[in-house]
Chain A
């Protein structure tokens, strides 16, 4: 079970409080996480990644384990502590963009 934290504007849009949890089949990748978010919350389609290109939006960042995973291969497996839910996967609005 992976734990995901959304930025406040997206929590408001999705009408959720706190952390999200998803049971994903291994290997757990960044693409699989965003796929799962968009499947459960269709109103978030296009807010994290561009709907046409599939690319992360420029002012959205992905952090975990105090690392910036934004530029990592979206199909690479996430580190075990993140994939197992021991540590959360953070989706962040960058310090810019608004």
Chain B
């Protein structure tokens, strides 16, 4: 029987939520790694039992954990993230040059075809790769050493590489997004990179249309249309139909176009989900109403999805890696909040229920469809 496994990273541990395909009755397993910040838990599409988790703490630094049995047991793998060669400098908050310093792994992106290959996006921004299941990590330095690197600057959450997308039709094509540098693309398996920020307009940087400096919060892609990308930026929801060469705004009638996550329906490549947040200073939903918004068919008219979500006095945030979709026939949508709720919809967003309500603040949500 089909089912789903939701992988939740929180400020104080990881949780694994499981259900059958009806997605009504849930089992909550955890905390795994209690007390540690789990920025991300990711599963290999090529082997559903192979999971990777980014485990860190302010005391004891960064570890990577690997499971070969679907999260029942875990073992630490290599945690050496050494920048390749001279680290150079980027802009610090005050505009002064600041050397790159490794802080943590924000995002793990397993290869769609090889469970031993995983990309890691780290703070300060760089991309690493393992090809041996985590026994060793090697930087792909072409991104960090891009000539625009000295102009990159940290966002409020640090200078993090938080999004990695792999084109399923062309594994040499990778996308990465950095706060606050922008979106980048590689067409040679990560050896070289170039900014793809044409069309972005960011009022909070001196030149609003600069090549880099944009605070991209999240990118999303549907695997059947890898040329089409969606972006939630600091402000603005954007779309590209040409692999990021050009972007145009699709914020339309959203109550706020500020937000963090963005996701695409599993079976409708033009159906997109965002969670509007009031503003850069007020990180909670407008009017105290937690609403997911859905756009269909490329429309800039967005539909509020509210059934089962709190519609008064709700002041949580939904972070950039905390939304995911399953691939069951009736596509399921999942997101977690800084208030510790994980919500699920088994019908593409029309109805929602809280799987669990009182976890630590949720940092990331991924979902595996198990068949």
A-B complex is real: yes
Cα-based distance from A67 to B34 in the complex (angstroms)? 30
Stretch at the interface among A28-36, A39-47, A70-78: A39-47
Task: Evaluate whether A9 and B58 lie within 8 angstroms (CB atoms) in the complex, with A43-B76, A46-B63, A46-B79 already known.
Answer: no
Query: B20-39 vs A: 1/0 string, CB under 8 Å?
Result: 00000000000000111000
Cα-based distance from A48 to B57 in the complex (angstroms)? 12
Cα-based distance from A7 to B57 in the complex (angstroms)? 13
Task: Evaluate whether A9 and B63 lie within 8 angstroms (CB atoms) in the complex, with A46-B79, A51-B80, A98-B35 already known.
Answer: no
B80 contacts which of A12, A13, A46, A48 (Cβ < 8 Å)? A46
- A-facing residues in B78-117 (Cβ within 8 Å): 79-80, 82, 102
Q: Is the CB of A45 within 8 A of B79?
A: yes
Q: Is the CB of A52 within 8 A of B82?
A: yes
Main secondary structure of the interface of B (DSSP, over half): loop
Cα-based distance from A87 to B61 in the complex (angstroms)? 28
Q: How large, as a class, is the contact surface on chain A?
A: 20 to 34
Chain A residue with the shortest CB-CB distance to B79: A46
Taking CB atoms, residues of chain A closer than 8 Å to B82 are 51-52
Taking CB atoms, residues of chain B closer than 8 Å to A24 are none
Cα-based distance from A46 to B60 in the complex (angstroms)? 7
Q: Is the CB of B61 within 8 A of A46?
A: yes
Taking CB atoms, residues of chain A closer than 8 Å to B338 are none
Cβ of B233 to closest chain A Cβ, rounded Å: 31
Taking CB atoms, residues of chain B closer than 8 Å to A59 are 58-59
Q: Is the CB of B76 within 8 A of A50?
A: no
Chain B residue with the shortest CB-CB distance to A93: B59
Q: Is the CB of A98 within 8 A of B59?
A: yes
A48 contacts which of B36, B60, B62, B76 (Cβ < 8 Å)? B60
- B-facing residues in A60-82 (Cβ within 8 Å): 60
Chain B residue with the shortest CB-CB distance to A57: B61
Taking CB atoms, residues of chain A closer than 8 Å to B76 are 13, 43
Taking CB atoms, residues of chain B closer than 8 Å to A48 are 60
Task: Evaluate whether A46 and B59 lie within 8 angstroms (CB atoms) in the complex, with A9-B36, A13-B76, A52-B82 already known.
Answer: no
Taking CB atoms, residues of chain B closer than 8 Å to A13 are 60, 63, 76
Taking CB atoms, residues of chain B closer than 8 Å to A60 are 59-60
Cα-based distance from A60 to B76 in the complex (angstroms)? 20
Interface centre among A10, A13, A97 (most CB of B within 10 A): A13
Taking CB atoms, residues of chain A closer than 8 Å to B34 are 12
Q: Is the CB of A43 within 8 A of B63?
A: yes
Chain A residue with the shortest CB-CB distance to B83: A52
Q: Is the CB of B80 within 8 A of A94?
A: no
A9 contacts which of B57, B62, B79, B80 (Cβ < 8 Å)? B57
Q: Is the CB of B58 within 8 A of A97?
A: yes
Q: Is the CB of B63 within 8 A of A47?
A: yes
Interface centre among B34, B60, B79, B80 (most CB of A within 10 A): B60
Taking CB atoms, residues of chain A closer than 8 Å to B57 are 9, 97-98
Taking CB atoms, residues of chain A closer than 8 Å to B58 are 59, 96-98
Cα-based distance from A94 to B76 in the complex (angstroms)? 23
Cα-based distance from A43 to B76 in the complex (angstroms)? 6
Chain A residue with the shortest CB-CB distance to B62: A46
Known: A9-B60, A43-B76. 10 other contacts (CB 8 A): A9-B57, A13-B76, A46-B61, A51-B80, A57-B60, A57-B61, A93-B59, A93-B60, A98-B35, A98-B59
Q: Which residues of B contact A (CB under 8 A)?
A: 34-36, 57-63, 76, 79-80, 82, 102
A-B contact pairs, 11 of them (CB 8 A): A7-B59, A9-B35, A43-B63, A46-B61, A47-B60, A50-B61, A51-B80, A96-B58, A97-B57, A97-B58, A98-B59
Q: Which residues of A contact B (CB under 8 A)?
A: 7, 9-10, 12-13, 43, 45-48, 50-52, 57, 59-60, 93-94, 96-98
